[in-house]
Structure 1
Amino acid sequence: MQVKEAAEYIQSKLGAYAPKIGLILGSGLGDLGDQIEDAVYLPYEEIPHFPRSTVEGHAGRFVIGKLEGKDVMIMQGRFHYYEGYAMRKVVLPVYVMAKLGIGTLVITNAGGGMNRSFKAGDLMLITDHLNMTGDNPLIGPNDPELGVRFPDMSRAYDPEYIALAKKLAGEVKGVDGETLVLQEGVYAGISGPTYETPAELKMLATLGGDAVGMSTVPEVIVASHSRLRVLGITCITDMAIGDELEPLTHEQVVKVANMTKPKFIGLVRAFVREVQA
């Protein structure tokens, strides 16, 4: 019922727009939402059943309009488990976007790099994830209108979308003129809000994690439940090596994300332009 009522409200505001591509923008990456043409803005607090985004760097609204000539629906900021919301509330927007006809979802985040070959400022295509949040948004009664009881997760991050992003990377340049070099790896999703201890980072790296963050995993689980195709991108904002860990603040994370924005925006715009959604 919450999905239906929220979707009906948003639908009433869409006008002629019929977006098939959705985007979730993480910490410090929301500026892409300001590049939408002929935009319609919907603050989350105006949408039935939606919570509020309380994190710095998250504008807390949907932006609907044209990007690269295509109708898109952008979440400028997201909800997190650590904000105190139930998992079902955290993932509500994904169900709503699916209800509105979104078939392709680009999910972005800021994360710490655990792979020693990475560096702060890199972009990592997510190939898989580790759910270390301690919860799952599908626990509880299943609504067959939303998806099957036991959704497959073998292609949660669409291989064709990953290949397309890698192909497009060569045409993306940063402010320094350098061509974008994309990393690939496994995203370890934790609950937060504390950053990880050195021992926790060693554990996550040993388990196969290449980057770590406090979002994305619940949203991707629900995207799979909703049969959406997903491209996941992590902005590596700091190096999270257990043996070399230094103190970190959210302000530092947002600062590096801001520096990386030209490459990030260039890649996402190229993907939206070329993807067959």
Structure 2
Amino acid sequence: MNQTPFDLAAEAADFLRSHFGCDRIDLALVLGSGWSSGADQLGEPLGEIELGEVPGFSKPVVSGHGGALKLVRTAGGKIAAIFTGRTHYYEGRGVEPVVHGVRTAAAWGAQTLVLTNGCGGLDPAWAPGTVVLLSDHINLTGDTPLRGATFIDLSEAYSKRLRDLAHGVDASLPEGVYVQFRGPQYETPAEVRMAGVLGGDLVGMSTTLETIAAREADLEVLGLSLVTNAAAGLSETNLDHTEVLQAGKDAGPRLAALLAGIVGEL
């Protein structure tokens, strides 16, 4: 009998229980571009493992993306699993590896998921370094982690309760709609204009598929985007991955403090 994605997630969760000696976690975080520098400030370290050693995971393929799973006890006494890397849809391995971390966290007992990413911003008021809470998303990958007649309500894909909690930590956080393209090429100016016409405020290459899988598993989701650059066509300069990484480094201290504050309240 072929192993299902849920079987593989259960196997990974069992492996992590044994490795860390931790029966269940309370929450999980996926740290995208620019966010990994804050991992060490999220709580008391309980252990760490390279993701490539865990069933179903692989080493990161993109420069600037971490590749470890860290276990911490937060200031609020919760046990959190921190994924410092993720598999992207543009790697061409299908949707299941993209959402494997989410399903593993759910199988390990998590009830809350924090998804972060770096993205291009459509609002000129959001300079590089701005953090935006995700209020909704548009999935332009043409794919989904759901199989068969699995009808999941996404009316509130990103929890209003968690957004309100984040606003309690930083009242200045704006909210926006995230549009995921397939990648790995950056969006063209015309595609960015299309995203705006559709109702998008941010463009990127991750997050929406993970959110769908999280809602299937009944996880409450908080999404946070770091604007690393103005989207294509909205700036006089061309897009460059090294500049994206630099924007994340420059925003590191603020991201770390913000994440620590939010996680401490979860």
Name the CA distance, whole Å, in 1 between partners of 2:97 and 2:119.
22
Percentage identity across paired residues of the two chains: 38
Name the CA distance, whole Å, in 2 between partners of 1:168 and 1:60.
28
Task: Give secondary structure in 2 for the equivalent of 1:12.
Answer: helix
Q: Which residue of 2 aligns with 1:174?
A: none
Q: Which residue of 2 aligns with 1:115?
A: 123
- 8 Å Cα contact 1:57/1:77 also seen in 2: no
Q: Which residue of 1 aligns with 2:216?
A: 225
- 8 Å Cα contact 1:28/1:254 also seen in 2: yes
Task: Give the TM-score normalised by structure 1.
Answer: 0.88
1:68-147 correspondence to structure 2 within 5 Å: 68=75, 69-138=77-146, 140-141=147-148
Q: Do the aligned partners of residues 260 and 245 (structure 1) sit closer, same or farther apart at CA in structure 2, a change above 3 Å counting?
A: same
Equivalent of 1:265 in 234, 253, 256: 256
- 8 Å Cα contact 2:188/2:232 also seen in 1: no
1:177-196 correspondence to structure 2 within 5 Å: 181-196=172-187
Q: Which residue of 2 aligns with 1:169?
A: 170
Q: Which residue of 1 aligns with 2:237?
A: 246
**1:8 is aligned to 2:14:** yes
Q: Which residue of 1 aligns with 2:64?
A: 57
Equivalent of 2:49 in 42, 46, 61: 42
Gaps of 5+ in 2: 1-6
Q: Do the aligned partners of residues 206 and 242 (structure 1) sit closer, same or farther apart at CA in structure 2, a change above 3 Å counting?
A: farther
Task: Give the TM-score normalised by structure 2.
Answer: 0.92
- 8 Å Cα contact 2:120/2:204 also seen in 1: yes
- Aligned positions, number: 258
Name the CA distance, whole Å, in 1 between partners of 2:236 and 2:174.
21
Name the CA distance, whole Å, in 2 between partners of 1:49 and 1:91.
10
Gaps of 5+ in 1: 143-148, 171-180
Q: Summarize deviations over 1:225-274 as a string: whole Å, max 9, x none.
A: 01000110000011115354531111111111111122222121111111
Q: CA RMSD in A?
A: 1.6
Q: Amino acid of the residue matched to residue 57 of structure 1?
A: G
Q: Do the aligned partners of residues 242 and 11 (structure 1) sit closer, same or farther apart at CA in structure 2, a change above 3 Å counting?
A: same
Out of 198-207 and 265-274, give the one that drifted further: 265-274
- 8 Å Cα contact 1:17/1:71 also seen in 2: no
